[in-house]
Structures are given as structure tokens and as C-alpha cells.
């Protein structure tokens, strides 16, 4: 209770103030108390609100800082993750390059020993023989490139040597390139079962790509086999019996691999319609000229004799039945010719 109430009441009882003054004074004191109370409550409320606002503001700033920290941490983690990915990618690429270089070196070394290279090629061919055409194309498209050939190739964009001693030839994407692609496919399909020619492994008609076996380095005075005449006779016989004419038996299209002479590039087959005997005669003269130069220069002749004697007949082992197959074709052609003559005789007899 306010002490003013007791003092005011005492004065009224002693008749020091009138009843009217007492009541007015009492009312005034009560109003003042009420006003003070409201002011105090408002001050307290304002302070509470201010404290709450400051607390909320501090909390908001803290939350913002927390969110910002989370965002920064997330960004840092993302950058770190990206750096790790880039590092892993670079390491993977380095690993791939190292493996490729190792593989290239292995195949380059194998080329120095034709017998081993031929064995590796046979292993690849056996593996490919178990696949269908689409499986072959997928498998072959992923093989490592060992080297790119710089020699001129008729209407071809690129010719490369792949692992397994497989050659990939890209024909130009135009009408003439397509024509040469079809020519080569037809010719290789006929000569593949025989020595002295590439084996057709697979082909992609949509992208004009041909996969065939590697046939060695270009023939020259350093690698021409001593039995080149025997091999020429076999090449001539095969082409004549099969009716295939490359029309382009230049020395740059003649290779030697493990002692075997091979003819490559059949893109111009039948294109210019030259007589096969003329083409073969020109080819024989080219081989003979190389052999004559070799004899005149006498380049490592003794060494070459030892080498040629060890590898000159190896290719016969790769095609054990080719002569028998060729003989059967000869017999069939002879029989058909005989039938043709008999039919003509009968027609003459009727007339």
C-alpha cells in the first residue's frame, strides 16, 4: 500500500482537510499510480521487445552465417570432389597412354621377328573366328593403333596397323570411294583363302572401313625372297584361276611378311579392264629388276640366304589345302567349259 494513503486519511480524520479535498486527492494519487504502473509496464514491454528483437536478429545473423558456412563447405567439397575426379581422369589417361606405349613397343619388337608376329596374328584370327560380324566390328574398333602407314593408297583416307597385326583401311566417303570399297571386298572375298593375299577379317559398309590381315613391309632389295619366282608362279596361278585382276600390281602394293610375298590394294580391280597377263608380265619384270639390283649390289647376300631358307616356305603351312582347293576350281571351270562347247555343238547340229 502507498504511504500517501495513510497520511491523507490521517489528515482527513483530524479535520485538517475537507471530505471533498480528501476524495479529489485520493483520486489523483490513484491516477498517478495507474499512470506509473502503465509506464513501467510499457518500459518493460519495450525492453522485452528490444531484447527479443536483438535476440532474433542475432539468431538470424547466426543462422545466415551457418547457412553460408554450410554453402561454403558444400562448395569446397564439390571443388575437392571435382579435383579428385580430374586427378583420377588424368591418372587414368596416363595409365592408358603407358599401356598403349607398352603395347606399341611390344608389337614393334615382334615385327623384328616375323615368325613371332605371324603367330600373334594367327591367335587374333582364331579369336575373331568365334565372333559374328557385329561383334568383330565392335572388337576391332577398340583395338590400339600401332602405327599409321604413310604410303600412298588409292582413294583411302587412312590406313593403320592395329594390335594383332590387323590393318584398318578407311576408304573415302564419296561415290568413287564406295566403288573401290566394293571392288576390294569382292576381290578379297575370293583371294582370302589363299596365300599371297590379305585375309578379309571384317568390313563396315556404312563407314567404308575394311579390316584385313597385315602383309608386311613393302618389297624392296633388302627383303625380296630368294624363291620369288616360285611365289610369282603361285600368285599368277591363283589370280588366273579365280579371275581376279588387281590392275595395280605396283611394288608399293607388294609386301613381304615372314618370307611370303603378298599383293595388297584391290580397289582398282577390273576398273580399267587391263589384260591380266599384261599386268602379271609387268609385275614379273618389276620383281626381276629388284632381284637384279640386289645381285649386282650383293647386299648381305649370305645373310639373306640363311634368312630366306628359314622362312621362304612358311606360308605353305598356313594354307595346307589351298592347292587342292584351286585344283577343284580348275576342274569345275574345265567341266563348265566342256559343257559350254557341247551346248554350242548341239545348237549347230540342230541348225
pLDDT computed for residue 308 by the predictor: 46
Mean pLDDT throughout 329-346? 82
pLDDT digits (tens, 9 = 90+) for 263-291: 998 887 765 567 888 888 988 998 888 87
- Angle subtended at Cα 215 by Cα 230 and Cα 198, rounded to the nearest 5 degrees: 85
pLDDT computed for residue 297 by the predictor: 56
Query: Could you tell me which residues are beta bridge partners of residue 257?
Result: 260
Whole-angstrom distance, CA of residue 248 vs CA of residue 266: 7
Each as own residue / partner, the long-range contacts of residues 291-296 (CB below 8 Å, 24 or more positions apart, any chain) are: 291/224, 291/228, 293/221, 294/221, 294/224
- Domain ranges, ordered by start, for the chain: 3-87, 113-320
Residue 157, φ and ψ in degrees, nearest 5? -75, -45
pLDDT digits (tens, 9 = 90+) for 116-170: 999 999 999 999 999 999 999 999 999 999 988 876 555 677 899 999 999 999 9
pLDDT digits (tens, 9 = 90+) for 30-66: 777 777 777 766 666 666 667 667 676 777 777 667 7
DSSP designation for 251? G
Q: Domain 113-320 adopts which CATH fold?
A: Transferase(Phosphotransferase); domain 1 (1.10.510)
The enclosing H or E element of 42 equals helix 19-111
Amino acid at each position: 500500500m502507498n504511504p500517501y494513503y495513510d497520511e491523507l486519511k490521517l489528515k482527513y480524520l483530524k479535520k485538517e482537510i475537507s471530505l471533498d479535498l480528501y476524495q479529489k486527492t485520493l483520486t489523483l494519487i490513484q491516477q498517478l499510480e495507474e499512470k506509473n504502473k502503465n509506464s513501467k509496464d510499457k518500459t518493460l514491454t519495450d525492453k522485452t521487445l528490444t531484447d527479443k528483437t536483438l535476440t532474433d536478429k542475432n539468431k538470424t545473423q547466426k543462422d545466415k552465417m551457418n547457412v553460408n558456412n554450410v554453402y561454403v563447405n558444400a562448395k569446397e567439397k564439390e571443388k575437392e570432389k571435382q579435383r579428385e575426379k580430374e586427378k583420377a581422369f588424368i591418372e587414368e589417361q596416363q595409365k592408358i597412354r603407358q599401356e598403349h606405349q607398352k603395347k606399341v613397343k611390344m608389337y614393334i619388337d615382334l615385327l623384328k621377328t616375323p615368325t613371332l608376329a605371324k603367330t600373334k596374328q594367327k591367335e587374333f584370327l582364331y579369336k575373331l573366328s568365334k565372333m559374328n560380324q557385329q561383334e568383330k566390328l565392335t572388337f576391332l574398333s577398340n583395338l590400339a593403333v600401332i602405327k599409321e602407314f604413310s604410303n600412298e593408297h588409292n582413294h583411302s583416307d587412312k590406313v593403320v596397323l592395329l594390335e594383332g597385326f590387323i590393318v584398318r583401311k578407311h576408304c573415302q566417303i564419296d561415290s568413287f570411294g564406295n566403288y573401290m570399297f566394293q571392288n576390294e571386298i569382292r576381290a578379297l572375298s575370293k583371294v582370302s583363302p589363299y596365300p599371297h593375299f590379305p585375309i578379309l577379317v571384317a568390313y563396315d559398309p556404312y563407314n567404308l572401313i575394311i579390316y584385313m590381315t597385315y602383309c608386311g613391309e613393302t618389297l624392296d632389295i633388302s627383303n625380296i625372297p630368294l624363291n620369288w619366282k616360285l611365289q610369282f608362279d603361285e600368285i599368277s596361278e591363283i589370280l588366273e584361276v579365280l579371275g581376279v585382276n588387281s590392275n595395280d600390281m605396283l611394288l608399293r602394293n607388294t609386301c613381304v611378311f615372314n618370307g611370303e610375298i603378298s599383293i595388297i590394294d584391290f580397289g582398282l580391280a577390273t576398273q580399267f579392264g587391263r589384260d591380266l597377263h599384261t599386268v602379271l608380265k609387268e609385275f614379273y619384270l618389276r620383281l626381276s629388276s629388284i632381284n637384279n639390283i640386289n645381285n649386282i649390289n650383293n647386299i648381305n647376300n649370305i645373310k639373306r640366304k640363311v634368312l630366306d631358307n628359314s622362312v621362304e616356305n612358311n606360308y605353305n603351312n598356313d594354307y595346307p589345302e589351298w592347292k587342292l582347293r584351286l585344283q577343284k576350281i580348275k576342274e569345275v571351270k574345265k567341266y563348265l567349259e566342256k559343257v559350254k562347247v557341247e551346248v554350242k555343238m548341239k545348237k549347230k547340229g540342230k541348225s
